[in-house]
Amino acid sequence: MGNLPHTYGNDADCETLEITVEDKVAQLEIILSYTAFKEHAVLVRSAKVMNKSQGSVSIEKIMSLSLDFPTSDYDLVHLNGTWAREAQITRESILPGIKVLDSKRGASSHQQNPFFAIVDPYATEQQGEVFGFSLVYSGNFAAQIQMDAYNQLRLNLGINPFQFSWKLGPGKEFQTPEVVMVYSQNGLTGMSQQYHSIFRKHLLRGKHQKTERPVLINNWEATYFDFDESSLLQIVEEASSLGIELFVLDDGWFGKRNSDTEGLGDWIVNRDKFPEGLLSFTEKIRNKNMKFGLWVEPEMISEKSDLYSQHPDWCLQVEGRGKSLGRGQYVLDFSRKIVRDYIEVVLTNVFSEAQVDYVKWDMNRHITEAFSLEYPAEQQREIYHRYILGLYDLLDRLITKFPNILFESCSGGGGRFDPGMLYYMPQTWTSDNTDPVSRLKIQYGTSLVYPIITMGAHVSTSPNHQVGRMTSLEMRGAVALAGNLGYELNVVKMDGKEKNIIAKQVSFYKQHRNLIQFGDFYRILSPFEGNECSWMFVSEDKNEALIFYYKVLNQASEPLKILKMHGLDSEKNYYFEGEQMPVGGDELMNSGIYLPANINGDFKSIVWYVSTDKQY
C-alpha cells in the first residue's frame, strides 16, 4: 500500500484476490484488490494503477471503490456536522441523480466523515440489511451515490477529484486508499460492531492497540493560555490524589505562545512558564505517580514565530498571490521533505528530552491554498494528496522512533477523525464540545464507525464553555465514562463533595474500563430520535455488562417506560449490584426493566452494572 495507512492481517486472518485489468492501447494496468477477513463480514478494496508505457500519463480521477447495486431501494446514512457538532447522523431516501458527500478542506473534516452506509428502508439499530463504506484516508475525499433512470445504484468512494491530478511517469505506480466495506444483517449496531472489531484488531497498531487507556487530565479548559509551572503543579497534585493517571500539558508551553496568534513552529519550551525546563516539570509529575502528555500542532506555523522569520517559504502558498490565515496561522508545506525532516528533528528533541508518555497531535485549521513552492506548475494539483502522504510519512517515522508514546490525534476536536489517522494514532479527541447533552449525539454518531477505545471523552466544568449549559457532575461523568475518560477542568477550584464524586468516577472507570474499551457496544435509544439516549457494553464472554441511560429534559407525569437490553446471553442469569435475586438474560432482553418513573430534574443519567457473579 505504499505509505498509505491500511488494514492488515496474516494468512490466518484474511485472503486477498487481485484482479488485473489492462488497457493495451494506453499500456496501463490496474490491479483491483479485494481482501476478505475470515472472522468479519468485511471486504477491503483498493486499486493500483501502473504505467507500462514509455510516456507520462495524468490521472485526473481515481476512486478506491466503484460498486453497482441492481436497485436503489435503500436509505442513505451518513455523518455530517461542523466544529463542536461532529458526527450528526443523517438518514435520507436515495433519489434520482447524484448525491455527493465530500471534503475539500485538506482533511477528512468535521463537515462530512469519510463514511456512508446504504440501509434497508426498514432497517433499525438491531435489524435489517446494512452496507457500510469507510475510506482509510485523512484528506480530501468524495463519495458519490448515484441512482440512474432504471433505479440502479452506483456507489463511488475515494480521493476527491477536486484540485487533483497525478503525473504518472513511465514505470510508476499510483495506489489508492482502501475502502473498508462492511455487511450487516443486524442493523446499524451490527455494522458498527464489525467496524469496531476490524479497526481494533486489524487497523490500530503498536503497544497501545491492546492496552487499557489511562484516565487523564488536560489543562486546556482549566487554564487556556494562562498558566505557569506552579499553577499546573497544583492541578497535578490534586488530580493525582483523585486517582487520575496522566497529565496533558496543552497549548501554550512553547515559544512565545500566549495566544493563538503566535509561536507555532517554535517547539522549544517557554522558560518564563517553565524556568527549569520541561524535564524538571515532568519529573515533578512523575513524583506524583502520574504520566506526562504533551500537546503539539506540528503542521502549523504562526507569522509571529522564529520559524516563519527564517523560512516564510515553508508554508503552503501560491507564489506571488499569498496565503490566508486560519485561526491566526498558516499550514506548513508537508509535501516537502525538508520541512518534514526539520519537524521530525525538533519533535524528537522535545519528546526525548521531556520523556513524553503521550502526545496530543492537533491541527486547528484546514487547508485553503494547497500549492507548494517546490513543485512545478503542472504538479500543483498533486499537493493536497502529497500533503497527506507527507503527514503519514512523518507520523510513521515518529511512531517508529517512539513506540511507547500513546498518540492522540485531534483537529479542533473531530475534524480529522478517520481510519487513516487511527492507523498511526490509536485515539482521537472526539470534539471540542464537552457539554454532555451535545456529546450524546456526537459520541452516538461517532460510534457508528469508530471503536469506543478511539474516542476521547472529558468531563469539563459547568456552565459548559461551548454552549453555556449547566449540568451535574454526575451527568457529565456518565457521558465521559462511555469513552476514554478524561477531565478538563480546574480540580483545584472544586469543593470536597465534587472531588469525592470525581474520585468515585475515576475508580469506577478503572474497575470497568476493560469492558468499556474492549467490550461489544450496543446502541439502544438514539438521542437523534428523542429526549433520551441509551447504550450498553457487553463483555466478550457475556458475563458482565454496563448499561447507560440518559434523559435530557424531564417531563411531568411521564408514561411508564421499559428499557430492553441487548447482547446478553439468554441462558445466563445476571445480578444487579446489591441484589440477591438474579434476572435471566432472556428476561432482560425480551421484557426489559422499568425505567424509574420519577427522575427529578433535567440532564439525568443512570448507570447499571450487571454481572453473572453476585456483587456484594
Least separation in angstroms between CB 11 and ligand DGJ: 41
Q: Which is nearer to ligand DGJ, 111 or 605 (CB)?
A: 111
Q: How far apart (Å, rounded) are the C-alpha atoms in residues 492 and 500?
A: 13
Number of helical (H) and strand (E) elements in the chain, helices listed first: 12, 33
Residue in 468, 522, 462, 521 with CA at minimum distance from that of residue 494: 462
Q: In the range 185-204, which residues lie near ligand DGJ by CB under 6 A?
A: none
- For the chain, what's the residue count? 616
- Under the criterion CB under 6 A, does residue 75 sit at the interface with ligand DGJ? no
* Binds ligand DGJ (CB under 6 A): choice among 115, 253, 417, 429: 429
Residue 291 CB contacts under 8 Å (≥ 6 apart), including other chains: 214, 245, 246, 247, 285, 357, 358
- Under the criterion CB under 6 A, does residue 520 sit at the interface with ligand DGJ? no
Task: Give, for 510, the enclosing helix (H) or strand (E).
Answer: helix 496-518
* Binds ligand DGJ (CB under 6 A): choice among 250, 262, 418, 520: 250
Active site residue 362: yes
Q: How far apart (Å, rounded) are the C-alpha atoms in residues 553 and 273?
A: 44
Active site residue 75: no
The three cell numbers of residue 582 are: 438474579
> What residue type is assigned to position 317 of the chain?
Q
Q: Which is nearer to ligand DGJ, 9 or 412 (CB)?
A: 412
Q: What single DSSP character describes residue 54?
A: S
Least separation in angstroms between CB 155 and ligand DGJ: 32
* Binds ligand DGJ (CB under 6 A): choice among 229, 408, 432, 435: 432
Q: For ligand DGJ, what does the binding mask look like between residues 269 and 308, x meaning CB under 6 A?
A: --------------------------x-------------
Least separation in angstroms between CB 575 and ligand DGJ: 40
Q: Which residue has the cell 449490584?
A: 577
Q: Which is nearer to ligand DGJ, 245 or 488 (CB)?
A: 488
Catalytic residue among 251, 266, 333, 362: 362
* Binds ligand DGJ (CB under 6 A): choice among 158, 413, 456, 585: 413
Stretch that binds ligand DGJ, among 269-277, 409-417, 465-473, 520-528 (CB under 6 A): 409-417
- Under the criterion CB under 6 A, does residue 253 sit at the interface with ligand DGJ? no
* Binds ligand DGJ (CB under 6 A): choice among 75, 229, 251, 418: 251
Catalytic residue among 418, 432, 435, 520: 432
Say if CB 419 and CB 180 are below 8 A apart.
yes
Q: In the range 114-133, which residues lie near ligand DGJ by CB under 6 A?
A: none
Q: In the range 523-552, which residues lie near ligand DGJ by CB under 6 A?
A: none
Q: Which is nearer to ligand DGJ, 410 or 565 (CB)?
A: 410
* Binds ligand DGJ (CB under 6 A): choice among 394, 410, 442, 449: 410
Q: Which is nearer to ligand DGJ, 220 or 281 (CB)?
A: 220
Residue in 227, 248, 252, 224 with CA at minimum distance from that of residue 236: 248
**95: buried, middle or exposed (CB in 10 Å: 19+, 13-18, 0-12)?**
exposed
- Residue 608 vs residues 190, 239, 409, 478, 574: alpha-carbon distances, Å: 23, 26, 31, 11, 12
User: For residue 119, what are the β-bridge partners?
Assistant: 75, 130
The three cell numbers of residue 250 are: 496543552
Say if CB 270 and CB 249 are below 8 A apart.
no
**Binding footprint of ligand DGJ, residue count (CB under 6 A):** 11
Q: Is the peptide bond before 463 cis (omega within 30 degrees of 0)?
A: yes
Q: Which is nearer to ligand DGJ, 414 or 567 (CB)?
A: 414
The three cell numbers of residue 562 are: 421499559
Least separation in angstroms between CB 260 and ligand DGJ: 6
Least separation in angstroms between CB 295 and ligand DGJ: 6
Q: Which is nearer to ligand DGJ, 220 or 292 (CB)?
A: 220
Say if CB 118 and CB 94 are below 8 A apart.
yes
- Under the criterion CB under 6 A, does residue 51 sit at the interface with ligand DGJ? no
Q: How far apart (Å, rounded) are the C-alpha atoms in residues 175 and 50?
A: 9
Stretch that binds ligand DGJ, among 52-60, 142-150, 401-409, 410-418 (CB under 6 A): 410-418
Backbone angles phi, psi at 426, to 5 degrees: -80, 10
Residue in 386, 271, 283, 256 with CA at minimum distance from that of residue 331: 386
* Binds ligand DGJ (CB under 6 A): choice among 223, 364, 372, 611: 364
* Axis crossing angle, helix 496-518 with helix 473-480, rounded to the nearest 10: 20
Q: Which is nearer to ligand DGJ, 298 or 413 (CB)?
A: 413
Q: Which is nearer to ligand DGJ, 155 or 278 (CB)?
A: 278
Position of minimal CB gap to ligand DGJ: 251
Q: In the range 333-362, which residues lie near ligand DGJ by CB under 6 A?
A: 362
Least separation in angstroms between CB 262 and ligand DGJ: 12
Gap between the terminal Cα atoms of the chain: 53
Q: How far apart (Å, rounded) are the C-alpha atoms in residues 36 and 349?
A: 42
Stretch that binds ligand DGJ, among 47-55, 345-353, 405-413, 523-531 (CB under 6 A): 405-413
Least separation in angstroms between CB 605 and ligand DGJ: 24
Q: CB 313: neighbour CB atoms within 10 A? A: 13
Q: In the range 219-248, which residues lie near ligand DGJ by CB under 6 A?
A: 220
Q: Which is nearer to ligand DGJ, 467 or 606 (CB)?
A: 467
The three cell numbers of residue 130 are: 446494512
The full DSSP string for 126-191 is SSB-EEEEEE--SS-EEEEEEE-TTS-EEEEEEE--TT--EEE-TT-EEEPPPEEEEEESBHHHHH
Q: Which is nearer to ligand DGJ, 74 or 429 (CB)?
A: 429
Radius of gyration of the chain (CA): 25
Stretch that binds ligand DGJ, among 107-115, 349-357, 387-395, 406-414 (CB under 6 A): 406-414
Residue 600 CB contacts under 8 Å (≥ 6 apart), including other chains: 554
Q: Which is nearer to ligand DGJ, 131 or 267 (CB)?
A: 267
* Binds ligand DGJ (CB under 6 A): choice among 81, 214, 412, 519: 412
Q: How far apart (Å, rounded) are the C-alpha atoms in residues 62 and 87?
A: 26
Least separation in angstroms between CB 412 and ligand DGJ: 5
- Under the criterion CB under 6 A, does residue 266 sit at the interface with ligand DGJ? no
- Residue 58 vs residues 168, 388, 561: alpha-carbon distances, Å: 6, 19, 61
Contacts with ligand DGJ by CB under 6 A lie at 220, 250-251, 295, 362, 364, 410, 412-413, 429, 432
Q: Mind telling me the catalytic residues?
A: 362, 432
